[in-house]
Amino acid sequence: MNPFDFFYKSTMMSLKDLLDNSKDRSLSGQKWHILRQAITKRLLSNGNSTIAELSSELQSSVPTVTKAVNELLSEGYVVDLGKISNSGGRRPSLYSINPTCAYFLGVEVNIARISIGLQNIKNEFVSIELGTAFTLQNTQESLLEFCNLINSFIEDSLVEKKMIVGACINFSGRINSMEGFSYNYFFSENRPLTEIISEQLDLSVRLENDTRAMTFGEYCEGAVDDEQNIVFVNYSWGIGIGMITDGKLYYGKSGYSGEFGHSPIFDNGIMCQCGKVGCMETEISGWSLVKQFNAAIKEGKQSKVVLDDIALGLQHKAIIAGALNFEDPLCVDLVTKQSEKMGRYLSILLNISNPDLLVIGGDFSQLGDYVLLPIQSGLKKYSLGLVNRDMKLKKSTLGRRAGVIGACCVVKEKMLSPLINN
């Protein structure tokens, strides 16, 4: 079964067939169902409305719209927000989508932590846990532990599982979102990972690349205002980019777009974690920063930061903290030099894609100007003047929540898009 077939079947059960054809096959039944869909679409896409506003926009009589709204009220999909003031006459009621009619689960996984969040249909978190300890390994035991953590989170949230219409899970590396395969973690030739996890969670599941999810999170709820062409940089242990083109996530033909960190741009003979030589990450990344720091210490340079007894995948965070909290000269110097290099090679992307907005996210974004100013300097020096002039540079506003928020937004968009866009 295609994962989206399962996704939509489970979703429809939660939303009372609003996206399905009406069970009543009569002409009048079909018209009635279309009206209910239209009301739901209006409240989802444009916000709160009165009966009069709905009647005018949908070109349907006030009594007919009132009847349909009352049905949606009784079913729990619409709520009455109370009377609003007007210039005279009877005060109309304001109606909205019931925020508790559907929930969306977002999960972000990295090598040492897992973050989970549950949002309602109004984009409000009802429960969120960031940075729960978890060791990601390519084993059945690790997968089962991962699923158990998610199930425990759902139980603690006090939200009925049947009200959760879907989950999106973010992994780093190569993700085939459409077919449900992860090629870096828990890969099986026989079955999509989405099927395996769906069975454990009893939920419809979508997989997404972590950087793409973060990108979409910033687009929906973060640093993006009205820009429609965005490049997002996940500047962390590795380097990934996500792109929004004309308001849509860009996947590429095979769904593997964004592996910016594995561009072979250095003639340095350094082996990358991907197995190739001279990738961008060999000099610009969290793991390359750790190597540079250790080399500097061996050369006799001093630092307040000690990396002993820190898990490998978290060592770069200690250096970031050294720059941010202690203004440690070595940490600041290494981060600054690396980020200026980042600006230089990001200029290639700018010259090619000419985006409205460049957003810097990931672990390094918390350093603010320590990272943004060197990147900006590199962009100014190496990108075309007109391209750089027309583009905004911003830091992520979602921070550590970007991946979880993005995952919720991805699953929500996939569920609601047939209703919103039809």
CATH number at residue 410: 3.30.420.40
Pair 115, 156 in one domain? yes
Answer whether residue 235 is part of any domain: yes
Give the side-chain half-sphere CA count within 13 A for 201: 33
Q: How far apart are CA 416 and CA 12, in angstroms?
A: 10
Query: Do 91 and 189 have their domain in common?
Result: no
- Asked if residue 350 and residue 241 are part of one domain, the reply reads yes
**What's the whole-model pTM score?**
0.87
Residue 3 located in a structural domain: no
Do 83 and 204 sit in the same domain of this protein? Answer: no
Q: Do both 107 and 193 map to the same domain?
A: yes
Kindly state whether residues 267 and 371 are assigned to the same domain. Answer: yes
Residue 6 included in any domain? no
The answer to whether residue 268 is domain-embedded is: yes
- Domain count along the chain: 3
Residue 421 lies in a domain: no
Boundary residue ending a domain (98, 119, 134): 98
Of 98, 133, 168, which residue is a domain's last? 98
Which residue type does 325 have?
N
Do residue 237 and residue 309 come from a single domain?
yes
Residues written for the chain: 422
Q: Which domain holds residue 66?
A: 16-98
Query: What is the structure's pLDDT at 20?
Result: 55
**Are residues 397 and 223 in contact, defined by beta-carbon separation less than 8 angstroms?**
yes
Q: Report the pLDDT value the prediction gives residue 87, as an integer from 0 to 100.
A: 66
Do 156 and 89 lie in a common domain? no
Is 10 within a domain?
A: no
Scan for tokens 């820009």, then name that residue: 227
Residue 32 lies in a domain: yes
User: Residue 86 sits in a domain of what CATH number?
Assistant: 1.10.10.10
- Domain end, chosen from 67, 98, 129, is at 98
In terms of domains, do 205 and 288 share one?
no
- Give the model's pLDDT for residue 174: 87
Q: Are strands 103-109 and 125-133 parallel, antiparallel or unpaired?
A: unpaired
Q: Based on the domain organization, do 205 and 276 belong to the same domain?
A: no
Between CA 306 and CA 280 the distance in angstroms is: 26
- For the chain, which residues score pLDDT lower than 50? 1-14, 16
Residue 1 lies in a domain: no
Residue tagged 């340095």 (tokens): 268
309: left (phi over 0), alpha (psi -120 to 50) or beta: left
154 and 282 inside one domain: no
What separation in angstroms does the CA of 255 have from each of 178, 207, 220, 250, 264? 8, 12, 21, 8, 20
Determine the Cα–Cα distance for residues 285 and 316; give it in Å rounded to an integer: 9
- How many Å apart are CA 340 and CA 110, to the nearest integer? 26
Does residue 314 sit in the same domain as residue 259? yes
Instruction: Give the bridge partners for 358, in sequence order.
Output: 231, 393
